[in-house]
Amino acid sequence: MEETASSASNDGYPTGTTPEHCQHMINHSLSRNATVKFVREALTKAGCPVADKFFKPEHCSMKVGGGFKQDDGIVICSNNVTHQDEVDVALTHELLHAYDHCRAANLNWTNCEHHACSEIRAANLSGDCAWKRELLRGNTNIQKQHQICVRRRALISVGLNPHCSMHRAISAIDRVWKTCYNDTQPFDRVP
C-alpha cells in the first residue's frame, strides 16, 4: 500500500474526497492516463486482464493511498486522496503489484522479500518518487533522491505487512534491492 500526504477538509470528509468523486477520478485514470492504461494492457498481455469492477474507492483505516488485494482487486482510499495526480500514481502503483502477482506464479505476499521486491518496483516505476513529488514532501537531496525515496517508500509499505517486522523489512529490502530496483518490466526503463 502507498502512503499519502494528508489533505484539507472536503465536503465533510476530514481528509480526502467522497467515494463518488474518487470513483470519478479512478474512471478518469483508467480512460485517460497513459501509464495506467499501459500497465493495465501489460496485465492483459501477461494473461491477467482486469475489468473496470477490479478498481473501487474505499474508506481506509490506515493512512495509505490504495491497496492491492489479490482476490478483491485494487482499492483507492477515497479518504486519503484529493487530486487526480494522487489517484493516477496510486493506481499505477497498485497495478504494478497486480502485474507482479500475475507474472510470478509463486509470489507470496507474506514473504518479506517477495513483498519488498514488489514495493521497490512499484515505488520506482509508479511516479511516486518523481522529483516534484519529493520536493512537495520536503525531501530535497540532490544526489540519489529517487533511490532514497524508493527505499523509504518500500520500507513504509513492507513495514505495514504483519508478517514483516521493521528489522525484517529492512533486511528484505537490502537483499532484493539491486535485482528489483533494476527490474523495470513492463516498461523498458523507469518512466
Nine-digit cell at 51?
A: 475489468
Nine-digit cell at 86?
A: 494522487
Band (14; pLDDT cuts 50, 70, 90): low
Within a domain: residue 189? no
pLDDT at 78: 98
Count: domains in the chain: 1
Start-to-end CA span in the chain (Å)? 20
Q: Print the domain residue range for 135.
A: 2-181
pTM of the model: 0.89
Across all residues in the chain, what is the average pLDDT? 91
- 2-3 vs 64-69, strand pairing mode: antiparallel
Q: Choose between 140 and 167: higher pLDDT.
A: 167
Environment class of 98 (CB within 10 Å of its CB; exposed 0-12, middle 13-18, buried 19+): buried
- 55-58 vs 2-3, strand pairing mode: unpaired
The answer to whether residue 22 scores a pLDDT higher than 70 is yes
Nearest of 156, 133, 9, 2 to residue 79 by alpha carbon:
9
Within a domain: residue 69? yes
Backbone angles phi, psi at 151, to 5 degrees: -65, -45
Within a domain: residue 161? yes
Within a domain: residue 31? yes
So which residues are the catalytic ones?
94
Within a domain: residue 166? yes
Within a domain: residue 96? yes
Within a domain: residue 168? yes
Instruction: State how far the Cα of 66 lies from the Cα of 59, in Å rounded to an integer.
Output: 10
Within a domain: residue 173? yes
